[in-house]
Amino acid sequence: MCGIVGYIGSNQAAPIILDGLSKLEYRGYDSAGMAVFDGEKINAKKAVGRLKILENLTHGGETMKGTAGVGHTRWATHGAPSDANSHPHLNAKGTIAVVHNGIIENYIPLKKKMISKGYEFVSETDTEVLAHLLDYYYKGNPLEAISKVLHRVEGSYALGIMFSEYPDEIYAARKDSPLIVGQNEEGCFIASDVPAILKYTRSVYYVDNQEIVQLKREGMKFFSVDEEELTKEAVTIDWDADAAEKAGYEHFMLKEMYEQPKTVTDTISPRIKDNDIVIDELKMTDEELKAIKRIHIVACGSAYHAGVTGKYVIESLARIPVEVDFASEFRYRDPILGDDCMVIVISQSGETADSLAALRDSKAKGYKVLGIVNVVGSSIAREADSVMYTWAGPEIAVATTKAYSAQLAALYLLAMKLAKANNRVSEDRFQQLLVDLRKLPEQIELLLGQKEKIQHFANRYVGAKDIFFIGRGIDYAISLEGSLKLKEISYVHSEAYAAGELKHGTISLIEDGTLVVAVSTQPNLYQKTISNIVEVKARGAFIMAVTSVENQAIEKASDYVVYIPQTDPLFTNSLAIIPLQLFGYYVAVGKGCDVDKPRNLAKSVTVE
Ligand code: F6R
């Protein structure tokens, strides 16, 4: 996730900005840049790669003299990591500089408009449109220009802005991307997150949605997006530096779980337009989508599990047969693909060796590959014929949570798009699916609110030897992911089984007190799963059920029940995964495991 730092005061800005950006490195980035006003003009420097490169380029900031500036670490979204795409972005005259974290969803029409007015774009970013819009609206009053621009843009933003005609001011603004401002005796600061400025001040203001801040050496003023002045209360930060990096959460994994509502919103909302689904990145017409008669999903680990859910959703909605393969198997099993087949490779990192090899193999055989990828500019993103990005931002914890949720959301969108192209879904059902899709983020939030309850329950299982997860249909897909989450971070042995399959051998492992987590969210399968619960309960199992609100009948057969809110049965995995993630997390915490860096695992598996 991009990081922003700004400073105006009596000290040199560049070293403070570099230092602040270094405290935001944990957020992940692939390039960095800063702009400093030197008394006459705005100087900007950018560098692809580590922040160290920008530091070396500017001799630790010494070659960029000036006491006002803004800086940025970029996590590529629109356009690969490059100098041109790095921030700050400036207007053509170099008199306005802007750094941005977030996504300007309507940047394409805005860009077209600005081009028609004679503006030239030098980057592929959504952010550059802001620099030109600011230029367009600036008539000598920065606040007015910012306000006008913010009324035009849709999406999310945290911004740091400077105008060379106002060298004693810098500006910040925010909507749906994190941003704070702070002050000490020597100046004022902008930052995406507390660690960047903790060394300088513990008194900060959280900038609220659609607020603008004017920062001067001697203090700050807050305005609404309509330029009305506001009063705000400062908050005193008492976290230590380590806790501040994780925004006060104990682990990155927990922080990332809490980012899931935003991740799902960011993945879904830019692709819902006028009550329809628009996925321009597919680069396929409805006719071309209609011609797809078979789909092969290829992935590893959790991304594979997302693919298994995808199979159920696509087959059910679009009636297109889907095969899901482990990338490591797909590569060597000489799969039978047809001309009418689409290969989908799902990967958070975009660098997983087996997934990349499967992609290359498929392309070599002449098949079109769609990548569902989180890291922009990664190998899979570069080599796939088309890419649908999951906008989860950088994931630091080794065990994936938010990227997995974003993958599910991307697959739902794709399934709905395919269903519509094939006339397989009525308009009423499609609209209801959109309603349910939009509700998912707040429902995820609701489930995250049950953290204490799940923690309490999980504490009873820190000594468990084996835990089983069972479910039928789409609930089996989520059982796979729930089981992986638990075992990879807590080292408790766990298996996921299709609920009806357990009795064909594995049930012999059930002993008195063995925990069986039964997922049951599919109305047509409630009774069937209850029968399987009864089977294992009769062998001494203790049952944790994760089910839908309407399935209260499950209480009789279970020992502990977690309910998920009402949604379309095809979307339940996005909700059922939350208690399962929390459960795995708290078993691991209870055992004192290194949750963010489990033994033997790497975030990106670049070997076969
Ligand atoms: C588990 C996990 C892994 C990854 C797998 C694929 O929590 O993160 O199972 O899902 O290694 O990685 P990507 O998605 O980067 O291809």
Q: Is a pLDDT exceeding 70 seen at residue 504?
A: yes
Rounded mean pLDDT, 444-455: 97
- Reported confidence tier of residue 171, pLDDT bands at 50, 70, 90: very high
- Reported confidence tier of residue 337, pLDDT bands at 50, 70, 90: confident
d(CA 574, CA 408): 7
Q: Is a pLDDT exceeding 80 seen at residue 28?
A: no
Residue to mutate (ligand 1; options 251, 256, 300, 325; most atoms within 8 A of CB): 300
Rounded mean pLDDT, 404-410: 98
**Per-residue pLDDT reduced to its tens digit, 475-484:** 999 999 999 9
Question: What phi, psi does 524 have (nearest 5°)?
Answer: -70, -10
Nearest-5° Cα angle at 48, 42 to 54: 55
What percentage of the chain reaches a pLDDT higher than 70? 98
**Per-residue pLDDT reduced to its tens digit, 213-271:** 999 999 999 999 999 999 999 988 766 666 667 878 999 999 999 999 999 999 999 99
**Per-residue pLDDT reduced to its tens digit, 520-529:** 999 999 999 9
**Who lines ligand 1 at CB under 6 A?**
300-303, 347-349, 352, 355, 399-400, 484, 488, 604-605
- Reported confidence tier of residue 145, pLDDT bands at 50, 70, 90: very high
Residue having the nearest C-alpha atom to atom 10 of ligand 1: 302
Q: Is a pLDDT exceeding 90 seen at residue 600?
A: no
Amino acid identity at 132: H
Could you tell me the distance, in angstroms and rounded to a whole number, from the CA of residue 604 to the centre of ligand 1? 7
pLDDT at 227: 97
d(CA 450, CA 544): 15
Q: Is a pLDDT exceeding 70 seen at residue 72?
A: yes
Domain assignments of the chain as residue spans, ordered by start: 3-238, 245-448, 449-594
Rounded mean pLDDT, 34-50: 95
Q: Tell me: domain 245-448, CATH 3.40.50.10490, correct? A: yes
Could you tell me the distance, in angstroms and rounded to a whole number, from the CA of residue 307 to the centre of ligand 1? 12
- Please give the number of the atom of ligand 1 that sits closest to the Cα of 605: 11
Asked whether this chain's domains 3-238 and 449-594 adopt the same fold, the reply is no
Q: Is a pLDDT exceeding 70 seen at residue 607?
A: no
Q: Is a pLDDT exceeding 90 seen at residue 336?
A: no
To the nearest whole number, what is the mean pLDDT of the chain?
94
pLDDT at 601: 79
CATH number attached to the domain at 3-238: 3.60.20.10
For the stretch 588-595, contacts whose Cβ atoms lie closer than 8 Å and that sit 24 or more positions apart, written own/partner, are: 588/486, 588/489, 588/490, 588/491, 589/250, 589/251, 589/455, 590/458, 590/459, 590/461, 590/462, 591/462, 591/490, 591/491, 591/492, 593/489, 593/490, 593/491, 595/251, 595/253, 595/254, 595/397, 595/399, 595/489
Instruction: Name which of 147-156, 191-200, 210-219, 261-270 the model is least confident about.
Output: 191-200
Tokens found for residue 459: 């504490």
pLDDT at 405: 98
**Per-residue pLDDT reduced to its tens digit, 341-382:** 999 999 998 989 899 999 999 999 999 999 999 987 788 998
pLDDT at 351: 87
What percentage of the chain reaches a pLDDT higher than 90? 84
pLDDT at 606: 63
Question: What phi, psi does 341 have (nearest 5°)?
Answer: -110, 145
Architecture of domain 449-594: 3-Layer(aba) Sandwich (3.40)
pLDDT at 241: 66
Name the pTM for this structure: 0.77
